Amino acid sequence: MPLVKCPYCKKETEFTGNAFRPFCSERCKLIDFGAWADGDYALPAETSSLSDEDLDQMEKVIEQRPRD
């Protein structure tokens, strides 16, 4: 049976027949899920602020759209 390393604790565990795969146990699965839910795996993103000119231009485009 193939062995894989648990993504959390790095312990080698059997992949086939493991109810918690790819994790070695329910504990590691829940810890990883908690980290995901807390945003620990979030990707960094660049944020930009819109200028007043940008907002005015967007409002003009929206006003010019034909209404259904």
Domain that holds residue 19: 1-42
DSSP 1-68: --EEE-TTT--EEESTT-TTTTSSSHHHHHHHHHHHHTTTTPPP----PPPHHHHHHHHHHHHHSPP-
Sequence length of the chain is: 68
57 assigned to some structural domain: no
67 assigned to some structural domain: no
* Structural domain count, the chain: 1
What's the pLDDT at 35? 94
pTM of the model: 0.57
56 assigned to some structural domain: no
37 assigned to some structural domain: yes
Contact (Cβ atoms closer than 8 angstroms) between residue 37 and residue 29: no
11 assigned to some structural domain: yes
Distance CA 59, CA 57 (A): 5
> What token pair was written down for 15?
């992949």
63 assigned to some structural domain: no
What does the pLDDT look like over 27-45, one tens digit per residue? 999 999 999 999 898 888 8
Q: What is the CATH number of the domain that holds 10?
A: 3.30.50.10
